[in-house]
Amino acid sequence: MPRPAPERPRRSSLTPFYAILGVVLLVGIGFLVTQATRKKNAGANAPPQAALTLTPEQLQRVKGISRGRDDAPITIYEFADFQCPHCAQYAALLEPVILERLVDTGKARYVFYEFPLGFKWSWLAARAGRCANEQGKFWDFHTLLFARQGEWAFDTDPLTRWRPLAEQAGMDGKKFEECVRSDRYLKDVTESQQLGNSLGVGGTPTLFVNGRKLDSPAITSYAAFEAEVRRIAPSAFGDSPAPAAAPAGPTAPIGQTPAPGTTAP
Amino acid sequence: MSGAQAELDGSHGAYEHPAAPPLARMAIAVLALIGLLVASYLSLYKLGIIGGLTCTVGSCEQVQASPWAVLLGIPVSLWGAGAYVTLLAVAILGLQPRFVNARWVALALFGLSAVGVAFSGYLTYIEAVVIEMWCQWCVTSAVIITLIFLLSIPGLRRAR
């Protein structure tokens, strides 16, 4: 009688496969968790703000586009890109409130600097903004440009979209178009971007108040923004200065006097 | 000859030899899992859970901010995550002895990955021609879905 064949130990041939799948899953989850926590801790590990203050020499080099009283006690500097979606959100939600409550009331002067990030039309839009400034319509045009960003951002010829906006803002459309088609403001925009780079502007919008760079949470709401501005320049609101023990940071080097290099439309 | 003997000597008598799990399908499952993790990363960013994208090559956040990053009101990355979950589930199911030779498994892997390749091709074209910016994670996903598609082809022959 033949002896029955010995039974081989049964082991799923899929075990190594499941092990590989498990390792990939663990590594992936680890990466996702690291990414989530890294971004949360980024603010806590940020370098001290004193390292990011503007100096008068830096501002004298580059002309920004200014709005408000030259002798206002607060100076707000914005570095922005017309094609950046976050800038469009900021321009639609927070900037109008800042302009209404701080700039139009004489408490602050607002200076806009271009910081083209490298979107398809970042540079051309920045130059178009300068062309609008040439006709004294920068602020109206800048509002329209941000509001209609979704319409022109991926157009093959954005100028056909911008000219009607320029005319809507009260500009001479022909002059505007000629200006945008020229290289007239390439140097100004380049210098503006270089200034941003030298100040450590990495993303947009980036705001400085009296030379002090604001963290992202300070521009999430007007309440947060004003709280930060009050902390930096309490006297502008009639507040008494923060006590020495408070984490007020170093005194900003500029802001009490207008930057001589800025232009007013 | 007993079934056990047939299994030992590799011959095929009356005993039905269980099909070995195809390596290509294992590779599909691993790739689908990697694709799922990539799509989840982009989805977490798009949903605002992760504040920024690590992007050593290209301009990931700019590409993610474009109108082509959303389809029918849902982030494209979330559609991708759904597709990769389905591919992963079908591939794992297709490795079980009962389904190794199932025709529907081979067809599902081929069909789903073919749609994925076509859509990824369209998105890659948009990156190259319209936005003129690249997102390294989107390109990674395009490569993964293309590999899955290629690996799904031998399964079609097996299932015939």
Give residue A60's pLDDT.
59
Closest Cα in chain A, distance from residue B50 (Å): 5
A164: confidence class by pLDDT, cuts 50, 70, 90 = very high
Q: Sign (positive/negative) of CA torsion A230, A231, A235, A238?
A: positive
Tokens 């690249």 -> residue? B134
Residue of B15, B26, B135 to mutate, testing the A interface (most A Cβ within 10 Å of its Cβ): B26
- What global pTM score does this model have? 0.57
Give residue A240's pLDDT.
62
Q: Coil, helix or strand for A78?
A: strand
Q: What is the mean pLDDT of residues B70-79?
A: 88
A39·B52 Cβ contact <8 A: yes
Percent pLDDT > 90 in chain A is 45
The answer to whether residue B24 neighbours chain A at the CB level (below 8 Å) is no
* pLDDT averaged over every residue in chain A: 80
Q: Which residue has the higher pLDDT, A188 or A39?
A: A188
Q: Which residue has the higher pLDDT, B17 or A200?
A: A200
**pLDDT tens, residue by residue, A40-90:** 544 444 443 434 456 666 665 678 899 999 889 999 999 999 998 889 989
Contact predicate B152/B115, CB 8 Å: no
Ramachandran class of A249: left when φ > 0, alpha when ψ lies in -120 to 50, beta otherwise = left
d(CA A150, CA A167): 19
Chain A 2-21, residues with CB within 8 Å of chain B CB atoms: 4-5, 7, 13-14, 17, 20-21
Give residue A144's pLDDT.
94
d(CA B63, CA A109): 34
Chain A 92-121, residues with CB within 8 Å of chain B CB atoms: 117-120
The answer to whether residue A237 neighbours chain B at the CB level (below 8 Å) is no
A3: confidence class by pLDDT, cuts 50, 70, 90 = low
How many residue contacts between A and B have a Cβ separation below 8 Å?
A: 68
A36·B44 Cβ contact <8 A: yes
Q: What is the mean pLDDT of residues A134-145?
A: 95
What residues in B contact A36, CB-CB < 8 Å?
A: 44, 49-50
Q: Is the pLDDT of residue A169 over 90?
A: yes
Reported ipTM: 0.76
For A37, name the nearest residue in chain B, comparing CA atoms only: B50
Give the amino acid at B100.
V
**A46: nearest Cα among A198, A195, A243, A217:** A217
The answer to whether residue B52 neighbours chain A at the CB level (below 8 Å) is yes
The answer to whether residue B3 neighbours chain A at the CB level (below 8 Å) is no
